[in-house]
Structure 1
Amino acid sequence: MSKVYVKQEESLSIKFVHQMKEGDHRRLDLYFFLPKEMGINPQSLDEEEYYHAAIAGRRSYYSSGLHLPLVQGRFISQNKRTVEEFRLYLNLFAYQFAVAIETDSKELAQIEDIEQFYLALKDLSDIVAQLLKKFRRNEPSDPKWKHYFENSDNYLSWFCEQRLLKLLSHAPRSSDYSEITEEVVNLCRSENSYRESKNYNSSQTKDDPNRISNKMLLLRRLIQQGVVLKEELKTLGVGLKKLTTGIATGFVMLVVSALIIKAQGVFSGLTLSLVLTLAVIYGFREIFKEDIRNALWRVIQKGRPRWSRILRDTTSQAVIGRQLVWIDFIKAKELPTEIDEILNRRHSQNKVDADILHYGINSRISQKDFLAGYSTIQEQVNFSLAPFARYLERGKAKIYKESDGKISSDSVERRYQINLVLSLREGRNPPQFARYKVTMNRSTIIEVTESKLPDGVQAIGGEQEDEA
């Protein structure tokens, strides 16, 4: 597949996905070019708050495709498998199955063409039915393994049913595709009956939406065990920030002390004028102390990573990878020359002043300690653009037209275009680039399209493959 690719996730979020193999050293940088008219800048958006509130990632073991050999063919015979090994590979299959269905259903929900929507819905329904059938053919008979299988089977059956019902609830109405609708509904009914026949859930759980939802969340966490990597995030520069606070406070107190001594020389004795002057001096100290500290910290923090992250195998607790994370606003002169060249090739109407939000992640993957039989992990990072949207204006303009002497008008929505440039450097190889255009309004992302790069700039390439 493409080494890295970006796509729309939901109405106001985008994501990038990539895979890393054992021993990989990769630096990935994303540059969001936010037009000045959006009003998003260091004064209106705190980078750290945005990181914690709007950026979410997950890292897990990855195997291309959804193959049952993960469950049935990893070892020579069933007798040579341990319960823990069976559980790990079962969880990997179930987790990738769930992620694939979730991803495909979200993409399908964005299709506006009625015919294309229902044809894609039929394909998704057929794939779900086939995978569930193949999965159940390998149900173990040994009780010590069967319990883990039933947990995964219960969750996958319920989750697939929920995703299909959600698609149907928001599907465009058309009697021309009633057969497809009925086919999908029958599959959902079949899965519901299947869970009842297996007595997977008690009647009290089935009848209470809160209980069934919480139970499935628990099952989801269980199938993630051993697959999704444990993350330990640490804030960097804590001691340096304290030192910066001390230096700023010392500098302010030096100035304040000098002013106090000066004031005592001007006013003889303890007078009302001296007290008022001291009050003003201390007032200005409180005002400027924070500003000086923040300005000094920005200078010192510039270009430094904000966080470090350790990725661990949840079973063995072995360190699988280490990451450094950056997020900051940068100036245009700090951009790599290749990005300047990419942006200079834009159409003249797209060359607008912009504030640049930079997100960077440097990953070093271990050469050992991976789950047996796997050599790849997948990282997926979601960026919510909802914090951007609240600064945008609603469409208020109207376009007028005349027809047969009658004048009518159409409301026009205000749209904004964010340029997103992605830079990838692997080891000591030269960097590769990709450029995307994100068109959005206040309520949703209209589209995410990839743009061509100018000659001489190396593009992030590779054969495209479905995400698992």
Structure 2
Amino acid sequence: MAKVRVKQEDSLSIKFLHQMEAGDNRRLDLYLFLPKEMGVNPQSIDEEEYYHSSITGRRSYYSSGLHLPLVQSRFVSQKKRTVEEFRLYLNLFAYQFSVAIETDSKELAQVEDLAEFYASLEELSEQVIHLLKRFRRNEPSDEKWKSYFENADNYLSWFCEQRLLKLLAHAPRSSEYAAVTESVIALCKAEAQYRQTHKYNSSKTIKDANRIANKMHLLRRLIQQGVVLKEDLKPLGVGLKRMTTGVATAMIMIVVSTLIIKAQGVFSGLTIALVLTLAVIYGFREIFKDEVRNALWRIIQRGRPRWGRLLQDTTSKITIAKQLVWLDFIRKKELPEQVTKILKRRHSQNKVDAEILHYGIHTRVSAKGFLAGYSQIQEQVNFSFVPFARNLERGKAKIYKELDGKISNESVERRYQVNLILSLKEGRGEPQFARYKITMNRSTIIEITESDLPSGVNNMDETPFEEELLEASAELKTKP
């Protein structure tokens, strides 16, 4: 499969996801080229604020395909395993099942072709039925195991129903595909009846939307235990920043003290003129103090990682990976040579001045400490473009047409093209690259397309992600 996958998440967000093996040493860099006409720059957006408000991620254990340990024959013999092991494998299956349904439904919601949408919806509902049946075949009989199974079963049933109903609620209407709609609604009714039959939720909880949503949120968090890695994020360079503040203050005070001495030499004694002069000097000190400190800090911080992150197994408390994170606006001359070479391939009409926002993440994965049976973790990072869109102009122009002597007009939207270049370096190997064009307007990302790279630049593995899923699905269907 492709080593790193970039795709649209919501209307104004993108995400990248990749898997890392035990012992991996990986550096991933993303360069976002934001046209200056978008108005996005260090003065309009603070990098630290953007990181905490608009960049989200999750890191978890990963098993390729859908044939997870819970549905494998080696897991059927439950007596040979402890309750804790059963819960971990159960959570891993339930978590990846829910993530897969969430991902597929979001992709399906973006399909505009009517025939393709309903064909994919029918296929998705069949997959839900198939996977839920396989999951429920492994229901334990022992009471001490059963509560964990019921929590996962309750959540998966409700979550699948909600994703399917949401797709139908926003689906294009067509009587031609009424049979597909009815079959999906029948599936949702069957799942609701299934939860009622098993008395998973009280009648009060079912009737109150807030209570059922909060309960399912709690169940989701329980499912994530042992699967999603605990993150400990710490800012780097705190001591260096304090020292920078001290140096900036000292520089300002040298200038201020010099001006005060000169002012005392000009004015003899304590006069009103001297007092006013000192007031002006101290006023200018307050004005320029922060600016000098920020400018000095930008110079010192440039190229340094801003945050450090530890990823720990929530059960064993063992550190699974360590990460360094960069986020800053950089200058064109600071770009790697190969990135500059890729940019030169653009068409002349796309060669506009741009602000460059750089996001980098360096991960060192431990060779030990993984959950038994797993040797990979998956990282998914979402970037929200909402802060960028706030600065964009709404479409005001109109296109006029003449037809049979009648003149009509049509409003056109203002579109912007953001270039994204991704660089991946594994260990001591040569970096590999990929380039994407993101077309967006004020309200949504219209499309994301991958562009060709110039010769001489290492391209990432282009084996489609879907091929692995198809192979895994085929293998799953052949299992008893």
Q: Could you say whether these structures have the same fold, taking a TM-score greater than 0.5 normalized by the shorter chain as the test?
A: yes
1:8 and 2:12 correspond: no
Query: How much does 1:138 deviate?
Result: 1.0
Query: How much does 1:231 deviate?
Result: 0.2
Q: Aligned partner of 2:165: which letter? A: L
Q: Aligned partner of 1:247: which letter? A: V
The superposition leaves residues 196-216 of structure 1 with CA deviations (integer Å, 9 ceiling, x where unpaired) of 000000001001000000000
Find the residue that maps to 1:460 and give its secondary structure.
coil
The superposition leaves residues 348-369 of structure 1 with CA deviations (integer Å, 9 ceiling, x where unpaired) of 1111110000000000000000
Q: 1:334 — aligned with what? A: 334
8 A contact 2:69–2:75 mirrored in 1: no
The superposition leaves residues 222-251 of structure 1 with CA deviations (integer Å, 9 ceiling, x where unpaired) of 000000000000000000000000000011
Q: Aligned partner of 1:426: which letter? A: E
Q: 2:60 — aligned with what? A: 60
The superposition leaves residues 44-102 of structure 1 with CA deviations (integer Å, 9 ceiling, x where unpaired) of 11110000000000000000112253355445832210000000000000000000000
Q: 1:377 — aligned with what? A: 377
Q: Aligned partner of 2:29: which letter? A: D
Q: 2:221 — aligned with what? A: 221
Q: 2:89 — aligned with what? A: 89
Query: How much does 1:275 deviate?
Result: 0.6
Q: 1:5 to 1:83 in 2, by over 3 A?
A: same
Q: Aligned partner of 2:38: which letter? A: M
User: d(CA) in 1 for partners of 2:72 and 2:348?
Assistant: 58
Q: 1:122 — aligned with what? A: 122
8 A contact 1:72–1:138 mirrored in 2: no
Q: 2:208 — aligned with what? A: 208
User: d(CA) in 1 for partners of 2:74 and 2:256?
Assistant: 72
1:261 and 2:261 correspond: yes
Query: How much does 1:139 deviate?
Result: 0.7
Q: 2:451 — aligned with what? A: 451
Find the residue that maps to 1:328 and give its secondary structure.
strand
Runs of 4+ in 1 over 6 A off after TM superposition: none
Q: Which shifted more, 93-102 or 454-463?
A: 454-463
Find the residue that maps to 1:44 and give its secondary structure.
coil
> How many residue pairs align between the two structures?
468
Identity of aligned residues (%): 74
User: d(CA) in 2 for partners of 1:153 and 1:217?
Assistant: 14
Q: Aligned partner of 1:21: which letter? A: E
User: d(CA) in 2 for partners of 1:209 and 1:390?
Assistant: 32
Q: 1:369 to 1:74 in 2, by over 3 A?
A: farther
Q: 1:238 — aligned with what? A: 238
Aligned pairs (5 A) from 1:14-33? 14-33=14-33
Q: 1:353 — aligned with what? A: 353
User: d(CA) in 2 for partners of 1:71 and 1:406?
Assistant: 66
User: d(CA) in 1 for partners of 2:102 and 2:171?
Assistant: 16
Q: Aligned partner of 1:161: which letter? A: E
Q: Aligned partner of 1:220: which letter? A: R
Q: 1:307 — aligned with what? A: 307
The superposition leaves residues 32-55 of structure 1 with CA deviations (integer Å, 9 ceiling, x where unpaired) of 000010010111111100000000
Find the residue that maps to 2:465 and give its secondary structure.
coil
8 A contact 2:71–2:135 mirrored in 1: no
Q: 2:275 — aligned with what? A: 275
8 A contact 1:71–1:86 mirrored in 2: no
Measured on the aligned residues, the alpha-carbon RMSD in Å equals 1.0
The superposition leaves residues 317-351 of structure 1 with CA deviations (integer Å, 9 ceiling, x where unpaired) of 00000000000000111111111111101111111
Q: Aligned partner of 2:63: which letter? A: S
8 A contact 1:27–1:362 mirrored in 2: yes
Q: Aligned partner of 1:417: which letter? A: Q
The superposition leaves residues 404-423 of structure 1 with CA deviations (integer Å, 9 ceiling, x where unpaired) of 11000010000000000000
Q: 2:291 — aligned with what? A: 291
- Structure 2: gaps of 5 or more residues: 470-480
Query: How much does 1:456 deviate?
Result: 1.1
How does the TM-score come out when normalised to structure 2?
0.96
Q: 2:401 — aligned with what? A: 401
